[in-house]
Amino acid sequence: MKIPFFKNTVTNYFSMFVRLVQGILVTRWLISHLGEAQYGLWIMLWSFFSYALLLDLGFGVAAQKVTATELYKKDIEKYNHTVSSIFFSHVSMALLILPLTFIGMYYVRELFHLPADSTAEYISFCRRALFLSGLAATVVFPLGVFPEILVGLQKLYLRNYIIIISKIVELAGVIIIFSIGEGLFVLLLFVMLIMGFTQLAMLISVWRSIPAFRIRLTFDKEVFKGIFRFSSAVYIISIGRMIWERGMFLLISIFCGLAPVGIFQLGSRIPFLIQQVALPYVENISPISALLHSRNRTMHLAQILIRSIRWVNFFAAGATVMVVIYAPRIILLLFNVENDEAAFICRLMVLFVYFLLVCRIIPEKFLTMAEEHKFLAKVQSFESIFFILISIAGLLIKPHELVVVGAMIVTKFIGTTFFVLPHLIKRANIRFRYFVLYSFFEPALLALATGMVCYWQYYWLRGDIHEFFLLVLAGFSGVLIYFPALYYMMFDHAEKIRAKKIISKFAGKLRRA
């Protein structure tokens, strides 16, 4: 099976770009046309919708894994029974959303903190909006299994094409709805319909990719038990991840107040953005790991892992060095804020995110698909409990946001360095010395060289030119260093030949023009 790695990655980034631009435009129009109160209601409705995804219980990843191992080629009936069991598990979990929605409708005043003088008409409007959101979540939630199947088929590009088209249609619909004077309820109905049609388009893509695929009106208990053993561990991993991602804000808020939450949010925005930029590339690792592991191609998989970590390190190290040097200037340019504490948190968090990207995220995806999900669940559970305990203990002694940041860094460093990485090296049969030199040392060395150039520019030019031009100069210098290095350090022989052909073809077109 030929894996469309390049196409998947490029469309992942293009999809991310479209969603980012669409999100910015829609947010601006929502605030402008709806006002702050109804925009707040819109945000609350989507927050509840996102919490409904917690009912997935890891079944989506299970569908991805069983598809990536190509069970549909080996035994289509067993595959259909397996996916059908996952689908109807989603249906049963989705049915819990409706009673929770009705409870929320009853307590809508408390749930949305509606003012005491809210009219009966506005309260009724909020209830209808919540009901529509809950109904849409009930219908759309079970269909979430089909995008996961496309990922398992190594056809992320099909999923991305559908998402891109749906986001463009959604953007056009928002323009039309506001231009004809309609409001939040019509907008909510339209967006929910778009979501439903998007998931149905995913289902059609699955059918075209696996012509014999069928959803059976059956529920196989034995198949479900096997799925649940895997999905429950995956769910524990995702819950553990959510605890530290969202728990940091909650702990800081409880012990330190809202102002430190704002400082932490300000300092962590850029590091988490770097993490989000790297994830479209990393998403390819899960289905590839499941496929190669099922074929027992350990050596080939080890090569892919080492090369993937090297690629992520190549770009993440450069971005990290730039942020460490220019953190105060970046925060000032983006948020118009000068805050030394936020800059320090930004530098600390970007180093932490770099460590996660290079040492944790890819190994975790591989180990999950290589039947090491129970091991990861134990590590994640230990990290979550340890993080909460030492954070609370530290905050009781000194209530400061850096206590929470330090607790998170220490916890993840111990879990990754002493448990996850050694297990990865042993499980994938990787040579430790080669792994460190090739995947870690060489890209980091290049980033340090780039950092020396950028720091020299920062040291001599800060205060003399505007932040924007200072960052542009730093980015241009980084590109001049990184692009030649990309060719000589990262491309293998076949990729160098392909790059030369593309450059020659492009140069030929320029000459003819």
pLDDT tens sequence across 187-234: 888 888 888 899 899 999 999 999 888 887 776 677 777 777 888 888
The amino acid at 420: V
Identify whether the C-beta of residue 98 lies closer than 8 Å to the C-beta of residue 128: no
Distance between CA atoms of residues 246 and 51, nearest Å: 13
Query: Quick one: the chain helix, strand, coil %, rounded to 5?
Result: 85, 0, 10
Q: Which amino acid is present at 88?
A: F
- The pTM score is 0.80
- At position 170, the amino acid (one-letter code) is E
Residue ranges per domain, the chain? Answer: 1-219, 229-499
- Hey, how many other C-beta atoms are within 10 angstroms of the C-beta on 97? 22
Amino acid at 71: L
The rounded distance, in Å, linking the Cα atoms of 458 and 330 is 12
Per-residue pLDDT for the chain (513 aa), expressed as one digit of tens each? Answer: 566 777 888 888 888 888 878 877 877 777 777 776 777 777 777 767 666 666 777 888 888 888 888 888 888 888 888 888 888 888 888 888 888 888 888 877 777 667 777 778 878 888 888 888 888 888 888 888 888 889 888 888 898 999 999 999 988 988 898 888 877 788 888 888 888 899 899 999 999 999 888 887 776 677 777 777 888 888 888 888 877 777 787 788 788 876 787 788 788 888 888 888 777 777 778 888 888 877 788 778 888 888 888 888 888 888 898 889 888 888 887 777 788 898 999 999 999 999 998 899 889 888 888 888 889 999 999 999 999 999 999 999 998 889 999 999 999 999 999 999 999 888 888 888 888 888 888 888 888 888 888 888 777 777 677 777 878 888 888 878 877 877 777 776 776 777 777 777 766 766 665
Check: CB of residue 219 under 8 Å from CB of residue 84: yes
**Vertex 235: Cα angle to 231 and 237 (nearest 5):** 120
Chain position carrying tokens 């003819």 = 512
Q: Are 282 and 361 in contact (CB under 8 A)?
A: yes
Cβ atoms 62, 227 nearer than 8 A: yes
* CA–CA gap between residue 356 and residue 509 (Å, rounded): 42
DSSP per position, 125-169: HHHHHHHHHHHHHHHHGGGGHHHHHHHHTT-HHHHHHHHHHHHHH
> CA–CA separation, 176 vs 178, rounded Å?
6
